[in-house]
């Protein structure tokens, strides 16, 4: 189909175009109480085509998807329709990505041998982890997916990469002394299928589920945490929110809270977008416009250094060397903002119903399903029945960070943010 | 118009189904061909083209078989690529060390039918763009504090086909969404308001949006005055979008019966019991309303239905996909839905709503001593096991002694225990609306289009 598309684009004298082809193959397993309910095998292909038309100093574009339902006639008609649409669109001109000397970075990936084997071995590790009293796994889903991405444009870019990832979603359930049951939600995407690593990760989640069953109601009168620790989903929601504020589109739409040079924090905080982070599954060597990614420092020493995003939006706002769209990022903070161990009372907010961030107001928070309250005597009390709220744009100025670092699917940096400015209710 | 691609593959689907039936106790083939078009007119850029999301643009098939041990599914783009030997190899599980869930063979009641629902008043692409441009110009000129406007229109056309040994079903339907996002700024304060219209009639959808554009602009400016809410427990009136969000999160997810099978839902122990105030009634079903999730048959070939979830405060029934219904030994409710043919079918909501009551909306506002009118769904999350919910409203308007004070708070996160929220409902309006612009995930994935809604509700809830 790609050959046919390129022939048609040439025949119709389309001077500027992009083709993004994604082939995927997966093995999927679905378990209920560690018994197999369904297995699936998938093999699919997506082809996204964008054609451009230049007129009166403007550049119009229109996209379509070439699908299995298309033949040469329908593809020809889709190109014609897209060209006709592009001619009517008067967006500012931007340049498609051109070849540079940059080399593609190698992305972390599982070895794509037998996807079904990887999935069944993963389930064996999960079952091995499921050995605690009063906690079990109600539901497990495993997806092992090989994705091959191929980008081409009219300026001769022709790049590809592939990676194999392992996604695990599981629901651990625990019960308390009264027989009441509680569950947590766990979802991760890995590029590491080491059974011991998986077993350890699942054991940690099961231990949290046990704590959930023992959790008592949050007592605002007795519990006076000086810090609230957020990690995992909530921390990423907050950091994603900050990074999102620096996207070219936010600048273009005049909805950005920060401008270049603005001070985000009165201490050294560095946010760097990276093409590749070891063991981060969202790593990628190029973006949807074929832009070869390396790294882009967007916050340096607490100040906004650069915006980031798709090359068209970048050029619309006057960037001469737009960054491209990154999938992973790294956070580094000043040594004096790192805390190894707290001696004051604090609360670890481990699990939220759904972490919330509102870019307009900076609000962040949500209902907390599981927290651990650490009192000043070193006692740890699992608590539930509370909500967090705060303003990220303010809270980021006064927070500290864990000395311990972690790599998630799209992140490397401190394992937790220690909030000073927050409300629990 | 029904997909020519699916039409062309029907004979091959029957042939493959017959061939596989020689080796498997159950065989079905679900085919889907979705096309969509997106029109986006922004203050700075215009984007018009075919939809590229997998939910709006795909051509693919799912072959489902039962091998006497468990069900397997095989997803490919075109049945022309089907190779029997490869199929057997690909769905085989060599290293399986766990038992399988004990299930029976899915029933296969004979039925042959084709369903078609066309857009009664389609408009050309140019007409749609002209309408969007006019909306954008209206918002841009409304107030100097409007700094950016995006107006969008999305048209979805779905054809699907279900073939088994004894069933041959085909359907075509379409749905439209028109929406706007208005960004306003005043000094360092930046706000965004969004709202939309929907329907299977393109012209009516755009006309409806035209009628509400002034309100959308007014709220966009008003939001610049918004302050955070003082956390606490308040009496609230919910607009139909928030009522729908509560229906969806409180008892929609809670009665997805695949959660019963996994022992993940508290509701399974409450069928026949009181779960809400006696003035509360709730339904779900692709046939229960004409909205975003109104198909004729689901992704496992079960006809659309209308399920009564809550009747006069009593939990009556749940919703199910075919495998769940098989495991629970009950009839499936037509709620098997897939994000795409590349994903498994789960029990999913369709059009989920509280039914109208008898109260007048103005009387409901008058009855509030101090509370908030909660408006515009943002998002929500449920915990079917422990019945905690979290619903986020885009904004709330303060009411004191039955009157609006003019104060606006945003955003507003409502959380609580499902039974407390539902039992606190003390008034249900006679006005009612199903909102056809929602999306819902299962866990954090498997996104499908849903609708939810209902009347205005008066309840007492925790806000933060």
> pLDDT (tens digit, 9 = 90+) per residue, B203-258?
999 999 999 999 999 999 999 999 989 989 999 999 999 999 999 988 899 999 99
User: What does the pLDDT look like over B178-211, one tens digit per residue?
Assistant: 999 999 999 989 999 999 999 999 999 999 999 9
pLDDT at B4: 97
State the Cα–Cα distance between residues A205 and A198, nearest whole angstrom.
11
SS3 B39: strand
For an interface test with A, which of B30, B33, B190, B232 has the most A Cβ atoms less than 10 Å from its Cβ? B190
Q: Among A288, A295, A305, A291, which Cα is nearest to A330's? A: A295
CB contact under 8 A, A35 and B192: no
User: What does the pLDDT look like over A388-400, one tens digit per residue?
Assistant: 989 999 999 999 9
Give a yes or no: residue A308 inside a domain: no
User: What does the pLDDT look like over A38-74, one tens digit per residue?
Assistant: 999 999 999 999 999 999 999 999 999 999 999 999 9
The residues facing A413 across adjacent strands are A406
Q: State which residue of chain A sits closest to B390, comparing Cα positions.
A: A367
Residue-level length of chain A: 425
Higher per-residue pLDDT: A293 or B444: A293
Across chain A, what does the average pLDDT equal? 95
Neighbours of B315 (CB within 10 A): 24
The residues facing B84 across adjacent strands are none
Q: State which residue of chain A sits closest to B384, comparing Cα positions.
A: A183
How distant is the Cα of A69 from the closest Cα of chain B, in angstroms? Answer: 6
Give a yes or no: residue A353 inside a domain: yes
State the Cα–Cα distance between residues B274 and B68, nearest whole angstrom.
40
CB contact under 8 A, A425 and B71: no
State the Cα–Cα distance between residues A54 and A135, nearest whole angstrom.
62
Structural contact between residues A68 and B78, judged by C-beta atoms closer than 8 angstroms = yes
User: What does the pLDDT look like over B164-176, one tens digit per residue?
Assistant: 999 999 999 999 9
How distant is the Cα of B343 from the closest Cα of chain A, in angstroms? Answer: 8
Name the residue among A38, A68, A360 with its Cβ closest to that of B70.
A38
Angle, CA B152 vertex, CA B147 and CA B153 arms, to 5°: 165
SS3 A238: helix
Q: How many CA atoms lie within 13 A of A413 on its CB side?
A: 27
Name the residue among B44, B126, B379 with its Cβ closest to that of A316.
B44
CB contact under 8 A, B97 and A123: yes
CB contact under 8 A, B70 and A171: no
State the Cα–Cα distance between residues B254 and B419, nearest whole angstrom.
12
Q: State which residue of chain B sits closest to A115, comparing Cα positions.
A: B90
Q: Which residues of A touch B379 (CB under 8 A)?
A: 354, 356
CB contact under 8 A, A67 and B415: no
pLDDT at A62: 96
A352: its two tokens? 């939220």
Angle between helices A72-88 and A2-11 (to 10 degrees): 50
ipTM of the modeled complex: 0.94
B156: its two tokens? 């979805």
Question: How many A×B Cβ pairs under 8 Å?
Answer: 242
Identify whether residues A182 and A33 lie together within a single domain: yes
State the Cα–Cα distance between residues A79 and A73, nearest whole angstrom.
10
Give a yes or no: residue A191 inside a domain: yes
Give a yes or no: residue A135 inside a domain: yes
Instruction: Read off the DSSP letter of residue B151.
Output: E
Burial label, A8 (beta-carbon count in 10 A; 0-12, 13-18, 19+) = middle
Distances in Å between the Cα of A399 and the Cα atoms of A230, A268, B182 are 11, 12, 32
Identify whether residues A348 and A379 lie together within a single domain: yes
Q: What is the CA radius of gyration of chain B?
A: 24
Tell me the Ramachandran region of residue B316: left when phi exceeds 0, alpha when psi lies from -120 to 50, beta otherwise. alpha
User: What does the pLDDT look like over A157-201, one tens digit per residue?
Assistant: 999 999 999 999 999 999 999 998 999 999 999 999 999 999 999
Q: State which residue of chain A sits closest to B146, comparing Cα positions.
A: A254
Neighbours of A12 (CB within 10 A): 14
SS3 A16: strand
For an interface test with B, which of A21, A26, A38 has the most B Cβ atoms less than 10 Å from its Cβ? A38
Name the residue among B43, B60, B90 with its Cβ closest to that of A68.
B60
- List, in sequence order, every beta strand (DSSP E) within A205-327: 216-217, 227-231, 269-274, 295-300, 303-304
Instruction: Give me the architecture of the B120-156+175-225 domain, per CATH.
Output: 2-Layer Sandwich (3.30)
SS3 B100: strand
State the Cα–Cα distance between residues A52 and A415, nearest whole angstrom.
44
Most confident of A96-100, A361-365, B366-370: B366-370
Identify whether residues A129 and A227 lie together within a single domain: no
Q: Which residues of B touch A114 (CB under 8 A)?
A: 94
pLDDT at A112: 83
Q: Which residues of A touch B183 (CB under 8 A)?
A: 253-255
SS3 labels along B195-236: EEEEECCHHHHHHHHHHHHHHHHHHHHHHHHCECCCCEEEEE
Q: Among B260, B264, B25, B56, which Cα is nearest to B153's? A: B56
For an interface test with B, which of A360, A366, A395 has the most B Cβ atoms less than 10 Å from its Cβ? A360
Q: What's phi and psi for B448, nearest 5 deg? A: -135, 160
Give a yes or no: residue A325 inside a domain: no
Distances in Å between the Cα of A80 and the Cα atoms of A73, B23, B139 are 11, 46, 33
Structural contact between residues A93 and A86, judged by C-beta atoms closer than 8 angstroms = no
Identify whether residues A29 and A44 lie together within a single domain: yes
CB contact under 8 A, A67 and B59: yes
How distant is the Cα of A340 from the closest Cα of chain B, in angstroms? Answer: 32
How distant is the Cα of A354 from the closest Cα of chain B, in angstroms? Answer: 6
CB contact under 8 A, B99 and A35: yes
For an interface test with B, which of A32, A165, A386 has the most B Cβ atoms less than 10 Å from its Cβ? A32
- List, in sequence order, every beta strand (DSSP E) within B341-426: 346-347, 351-354, 370-383, 388-400, 403-409, 412-417
Identify whether residues A342 and A195 lie together within a single domain: no
Q: How many CA atoms lie within 13 A of B420 on its CB side?
A: 15
Max intra-chain CA distance, chain A? 77
Q: Which residues of A touch B70 (CB under 8 A)?
A: 36-39
Q: Which spans in A318-422 are helix H? A: 392-398
Confidence of residue B455 (pLDDT cuts 50, 70, 90): very high
State the Cα–Cα distance between residues A401 and A336, nearest whole angstrom.
9
Structural contact between residues A171 and A126, judged by C-beta atoms closer than 8 angstroms = no
Name the residue among B5, B52, B101 with its Cβ closest to that of A69.
B5
pLDDT at A225: 95
Q: B246-270: buried (b, 16+ CB within 10 Å) or exposed (e) per residue?
A: bbbbbbbbbbbbbbbbbbbbbbbeb
Give a yes or no: residue A301 inside a domain: no
Structural contact between residues B422 and B389, judged by C-beta atoms closer than 8 angstroms = no
Confidence of residue B340 (pLDDT cuts 50, 70, 90): very high
User: Mean per-residue pLDDT for A81-91?
Assistant: 96
CB contact under 8 A, A360 and B76: no
- Residue B424, pLDDT above cutoff 90: yes
Give a yes or no: residue A249 inside a domain: no
Across chain B, what does the average pLDDT equal? 95
- Which domain CATH number covers A208? 3.30.2290.10
- Please name the helix (run of DSSP H) or strand (run of DSSP E) that holds residue A150, with its range, or none: strand A135-153
Identify whether residues A125 and A222 lie together within a single domain: no
pLDDT at B464: 84
CB contact under 8 A, B98 and A28: no
User: What does the pLDDT look like over B363-389, one tens digit per residue?
Assistant: 999 999 999 999 999 888 878 888 888
State the Cα–Cα distance between residues B183 and B163, nearest whole angstrom.
48
Contacts of A254 (CB under 8 A, 6+ apart): B147, B148, B183, B185
CB contact under 8 A, B261 and A62: no
Report how far apart the first and last C-alpha atoms of chain B are (Å, whole number): 48
Name the residue among A68, A88, A256 with its Cβ closest to that of B78.
A68
Identify whether residues A93 and A43 lie together within a single domain: yes
Q: Which residues of B touch A90 (CB under 8 A)?
A: 46
Identify whether residues A178 and A225 lie together within a single domain: no
CB contact under 8 A, A173 and B263: yes
- Residue A360, pLDDT above cutoff 90: no
CB contact under 8 A, A39 and B99: no
For an interface test with B, which of A254, A370, A388 has the most B Cβ atoms less than 10 Å from its Cβ? A254
pLDDT at B386: 81
- Residue A99, pLDDT above cutoff 90: no
- Residue B134, pLDDT above cutoff 90: yes
User: What does the pLDDT look like over B272-316, one tens digit per residue?
Assistant: 999 999 999 999 999 999 999 999 999 999 999 999 999 999 999
User: What does the pLDDT look like over A315-351, one tens digit per residue?
Assistant: 999 999 999 999 999 999 999 999 999 999 999 999 9
Identify whether residues A61 and A145 lie together within a single domain: yes
Structural contact between residues A40 and B344, judged by C-beta atoms closer than 8 angstroms = yes
Identify whether residues A232 and A353 lie together within a single domain: yes
State the residue for tokens 């965004």.
B192
CB contact under 8 A, B72 and A41: yes
Q: Among A240, A329, A328, A323, which Cα is nearest to A283's? A: A328
pLDDT at B389: 85
Could you give the number of structural domains in chain A? 2
State the Cα–Cα distance between residues A308 and A321, nearest whole angstrom.
10
User: Mean per-residue pLDDT for B89-112?
Assistant: 92
Structural contact between residues A228 and A419, judged by C-beta atoms closer than 8 angstroms = yes
Identify whether residues A222 and A361 lie together within a single domain: yes
pLDDT at B130: 97
State the Cα–Cα distance between residues B253 and B319, nearest whole angstrom.
9
Q: What is the CA radius of gyration of chain A?
A: 24
Name the residue among A26, A78, A169 with its Cβ closest to that of B443.
A169
For an interface test with A, which of B8, B37, B50 has the most A Cβ atoms less than 10 Å from its Cβ? B50
Distances in Å between the Cα of B393 and the Cα atoms of A91, A358, A363, B354, B375 are 35, 11, 13, 18, 6
Give a yes or no: residue A289 inside a domain: no
Identify whether residues A163 and A58 lie together within a single domain: yes
Instruction: Read off the DSSP letter of residue B81.
Output: G
Pairing of strands A186-190, A216-217: unpaired
State the Cα–Cα distance between residues B191 and B147, nearest whole angstrom.
10
The residues facing B111 across adjacent strands are B167
DSSP string covering B169-199, please? EEEEEEEEEEEEEEEEEETTEEEEEEEEEEE
CB contact under 8 A, B388 and A89: no
Residues of chain B with CATH 3.30.160: 120-156+175-225
Neighbours of A342 (CB within 10 A): 17
CB contact under 8 A, A37 and B42: no
pLDDT at B59: 97
Q: A144-158: buried (b, 16+ CB within 10 Å) or exposed (e) per residue?
A: bbbbbbbbbbbeebe
How distant is the Cα of A343 from the closest Cα of chain B, in angstroms? Answer: 29
DSSP string covering B269-304, please? G-TTSB-S-TT--EEE-TTTSSSTT--SB-TTSPBP
State the Cα–Cα distance between residues A375 and A381, nearest whole angstrom.
8
State the Cα–Cα distance between residues A193 and A144, nearest whole angstrom.
10
Q: What is the domain extent for residue A229?
A: 217-236+336-424
A41: its two tokens? 């095998």
């Amino acid at each position: 189909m790609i050959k046919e598309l390129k022939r048609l684009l040439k025949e119709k004298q389309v001077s500027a175009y992009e083709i993004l082809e994604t082939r995927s193959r997966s093995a999927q397993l679905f378990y209920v109480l560690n018994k197999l309910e369904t297995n699936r095998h998938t093999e699919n292909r997506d082809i996204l085509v964008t054609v451009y038309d230049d007129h009166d100093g403007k550049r119009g574009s229109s996209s379509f998807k070439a699908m299995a339902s298309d033949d040469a006639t329908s593809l020809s008609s889709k190109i014609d329709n897209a060209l006709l649409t592009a001619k009517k669109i008067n967006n500012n001109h931007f340049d498609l990505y051109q070849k540079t000397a940059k080399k593609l970075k190698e992305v972390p990936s599982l070895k794509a041998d037998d996807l079904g084997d990887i999935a069944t071995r993963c389930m064996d590790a999960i079952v091995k982890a499921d050995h605690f009293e009063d906690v079990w796994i109600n539901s497990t889903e495993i997806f092992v997916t090989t994705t091959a991405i191929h980008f081409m444009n009219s300026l001769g870019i022709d790049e590809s990469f592939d990676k194999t990832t392992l996604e695990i979603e599981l629901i651990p359930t625990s019960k308390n002394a009264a027989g009441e049951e509680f569950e947590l939600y766990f979802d991760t995407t890995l590029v590491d299928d080491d059974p011991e690593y998986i077993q350890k990760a699942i054991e940690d989640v099961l231990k949290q589920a046990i704590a959930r069953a023992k959790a008592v109601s949050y007592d605002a009168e007795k519990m006076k945490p000086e810090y609230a620790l957020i990690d995992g989903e909530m921390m990423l929601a907050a950091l994603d929110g900050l990074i999102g504020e620096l996207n070219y589109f936010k600048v273009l739409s005049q909805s950005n809270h920060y401008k270049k040079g603005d001070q985000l924090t009165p201490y050294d905080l560095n946010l760097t977008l990276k093409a590749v982070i070891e063991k981060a599954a969202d790593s990628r060597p190029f973006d949807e416009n074929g832009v070869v990614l390396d790294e882009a420092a967007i916050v340096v020493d607490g100040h906004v250094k650069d915006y980031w995003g798709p090359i068209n939006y970048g050029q619309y706002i006057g960037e001469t060397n737009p960054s491209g769209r990154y999938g992973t990022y790294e956070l580094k903070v000043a040594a004096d903002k790192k805390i190894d161990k707290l001696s004051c009372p604090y609360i670890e907010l481990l699990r939220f119903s759904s972490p919330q961030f509102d870019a307009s107001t900076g609000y962040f928070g949500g209902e907390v399903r599981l927290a651990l309250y650490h009192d000043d005597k070193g006692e740890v009390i699992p608590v539930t029945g509370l909500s967090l709220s705060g303003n990220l744009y303010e809270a980021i100025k006064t927070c500290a960070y864990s000395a311990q670092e972690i790599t998630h699917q799209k992140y490397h940096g401190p394992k937790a943010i220690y909030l000073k400015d927050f409300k629990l209710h | 118009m029904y997909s020519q691609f699916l039409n062309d593959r029907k004979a091959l689907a029957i042939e493959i189904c017959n061939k596989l039936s020689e080796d498997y106790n159950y065989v079905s083939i679900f085919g889907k061909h979705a096309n969509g078009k997106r029109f986006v007119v922004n203050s700075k850029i215009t984007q018009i083209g075919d939809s590229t999301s997998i939910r709006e643009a795909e051509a693919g098939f799912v072959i489902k078989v039962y091998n006497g041990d468990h069900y397997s599914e095989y997803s490919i783009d075109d049945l022309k690529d089907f190779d029997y030997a490869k199929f057997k190899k690909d769905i085989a599980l060599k290293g399986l060390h766990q038992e399988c869930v004990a299930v029976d063979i899915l029933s296969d009641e004979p039925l042959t039918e084709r369903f078609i629902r066309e857009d009664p008043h389609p408009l050309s692409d140019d007409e749609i763009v002209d309408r969007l441009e006019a909306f954008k110009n209206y918002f841009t000129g409304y107030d100097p504090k409007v700094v950016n406007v995006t107006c969008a229109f999305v048209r979805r056309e779905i054809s699907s086909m279900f073939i088994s040994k004894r069933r041959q079903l085909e359907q075509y339907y379409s749905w439209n969404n028109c929406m706007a996002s208005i960004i306003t700024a005043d000094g360092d304060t930046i706000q965004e308001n969004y709202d939309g219209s929907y329907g299977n009639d393109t012209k009516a959808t755009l006309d409806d949006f035209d009628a509400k554009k002034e309100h959308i602009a007014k709220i966009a400016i008003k939001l610049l005055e918004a302050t955070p809410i003082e956390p606490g427990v308040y009496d609230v009136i919910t607009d139909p979008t928030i009522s729908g969000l509560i229906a969806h999160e409180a008892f929609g997810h809670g009665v997805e019966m695949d959660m019963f099978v996994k022992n993940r839902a508290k509701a399974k122990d409450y069928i026949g019991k009181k779960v809400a105030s006696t003035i509360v009634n709730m339904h779900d079903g692709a046939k229960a309303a004409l909205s975003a999730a109104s198909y004729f048959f689901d992704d496992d070939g079960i006809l659309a239905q209308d399920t009564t979830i809550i009747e006069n405060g009593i939990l009556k029934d749940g919703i199910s996909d075919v495998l769940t219904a098989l495991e629970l030994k009950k009839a499936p409710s037509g709620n098997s839905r897939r994000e795409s043919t590349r994903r498994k079918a789960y029990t999913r909501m369709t059009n989920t709503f509280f039914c109208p009551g008898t109260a007048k909306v103005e009387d409901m506002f008058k009855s509030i001593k101090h509370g908030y009118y909660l408006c515009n769904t943002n998002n929500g999350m449920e915990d079917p096991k422990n019945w905690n919910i979290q619903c986020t409203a885009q904004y709330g308007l303060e009411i004191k002694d039955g009157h609006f004070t003019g104060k606006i708070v945003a955003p507003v996160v409502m959380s609580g225990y499902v039974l407390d929220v539902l039992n606190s409902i003390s008034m249900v309006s006679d006005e009612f609306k199903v909102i056809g612009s929602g999306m819902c995930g299962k866990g954090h994935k498997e996104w499908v289009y849903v609708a939810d809604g209902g009347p205005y509700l008066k309840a007492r809830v925790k806000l933060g």
